Every structure is written in structure tokens, then in C-alpha cells.
Amino acid sequence: MNNDKKIMIRFVFIMIISLIIGGFIGFLIGGYYQELFEWSIYLSDLLITYGVFAYGIGYFLLLISTIYYFKAKSYLKALEDEINYETANKTLSKAMIFNNVAMPLMFICLGLSAYSLFDLGMISFLLIVVYIVWTLILSNVIIKSIKQMAPEKKGNVFDVKFQKDWYESCDELEKLQIGNACYKTFKCMTNIYLVSAVIICCLSYTGFISPFWILFIGMLWILQQAIYSIYCMKENI
């Protein structure tokens, strides 16, 4: 059996399994419609009531990022040691990961707190301001520490061209690594969009959520595919 036939058989098998799983999920939704509907209302009320406390998760991530940053600073004091260099680099990467996750989480917090039944007034405003300032300052000091290890790196966090300047200052190997990371992210997000679209379709058919959400997810998916295809065409890939 040649490779093409194996791939086709595997594809058909996956499609059959997917149909079986989809039918089973549809059966469960239909059989427990009332219970699931009540649960969705309860979850919405819970988010509306306690959404403002999601800031606690964001502040916790920023705290972890800050701890990693100061740990990395301690390693940077002895950069002549190759082991310390690698450890500092990995520690700064961890600090950057938590800080990068904290930024989109801030917008989730903003959306949830807008509907919260807890009217915190000025406190809510201060939470947002401190969150933004902490995130930006932490991003800046992390980038400066990376520049300390790699002086050839260019870019200022507060500059709108930061990503472009940073990428252009990378060597060929680093650009290749960035490209590999982007490709893996693209593949992962394509699968996430697919699964999300299927789930939202099921929930939309049963009336749990508005059809708007499948339009929203679908448009984001279309934009990703279109942007990727356009840049591939420009690069003659």
C-alpha cells in the first residue's frame, strides 16, 4: 500500500470518528438541553457577578513575571559564566511569557469587570492603570536585560515600530527560529479555530449562544488564512 492510500484511509477514519463524536455530542445536548441551558445562565451570572476579581489572576501573572525578572538579573551579574548566560536567557524568556499572557488577560478583565455587580468606582480605574503601567514597565526592563546580553538587539518597547526593529536586528538563525515558531503557532491556531467553530456551531444550533459568535470566530479565522496566504504570495512561497 503506497503512502497516498494510507493517508486517505487515515483521513476517512478521522472523518468517521469525528462524525460519531459530533453525533454523540448532539445527542447529549438534545437530551440534557434544559440542564445545560440552566448551567449556561448560571455561568453567565457568575462571570457578571465576580468578573472584576479576574484582575487577581492578571496581577498574579505579573508577580510571577517580576520574580523571574529579578532572578534573571541576579544571573546577569556574572555573564562571563556561560552557564549563567543560558540560565539568565531562559529565565528572562519565562518572565516575558507570563508578561505577554498578562496583556490580553487585561482586556478580558476589562470586559468582565464592565458587567460586574460590584461597583468599585475609582478602585476599578486604579486597578486598570496600575495593571497597564506594571505590564509596560516590566516589558521595558525585560527587553533592556535582553539587550544587556545581546547589545546588537534594537528596538524600544514604547515605539510602535518595536517589533519591526527587533526582528531586523536578529541574525539569520534567530529569524529562522522566529519563522518556525510562527509556523507552529499558525498550525496550532488553525486547529483551535476549527474546534472553536464546531463547538460554537453546536451551541448556536441549540440556542445557547447568539449566532454572532460563529460569525466572529469565522471572520478571525478567515483573516488569519487570508493574511497568511497574501504574505506567502508576496514571498513566492
Q: Whole-angstrom Cα distance, residue 207 to residue 88?
A: 51
Q: What is the pTM of this model?
A: 0.75
In this predicted structure, what is the pLDDT of residue 223?
A: 92
Residues of the chain with pLDDT under 50: 117
The closest alpha carbon to 140, from 152, 128, 158, belongs to 158
Question: Can you give the C-alpha Rg of the chain in angstroms?
Answer: 23
In this predicted structure, what is the pLDDT of residue 117?
A: 47
The closest alpha carbon to 65, from 94, 88, 108, 103, belongs to 94
In this predicted structure, what is the pLDDT of residue 29?
A: 65
Residue 150, C-alpha cell as written in the block: 545581546
Q: Is 171 exposed, middle or buried (0-12, 13-18, 19+ CB in 10 A)?
A: exposed
Residue-wise pLDDT for 110-143, tens only, equals 777 666 545 556 677 787 888 889 999 999 999 9
Residue 24, C-alpha cell as written in the block: 454523540
Residue 41, C-alpha cell as written in the block: 445562565
Q: Whole-angstrom Cα distance, residue 166 to residue 35?
A: 51
Residue-wise pLDDT for 143-167, tens only, equals 998 888 888 888 888 888 888 888 8
Which residue shows C-alpha cell 508578561? 99
Q: What are the boundaries of each domain within the chain?
A: 32-159, 171-237
In this predicted structure, what is the pLDDT of residue 120?
A: 59
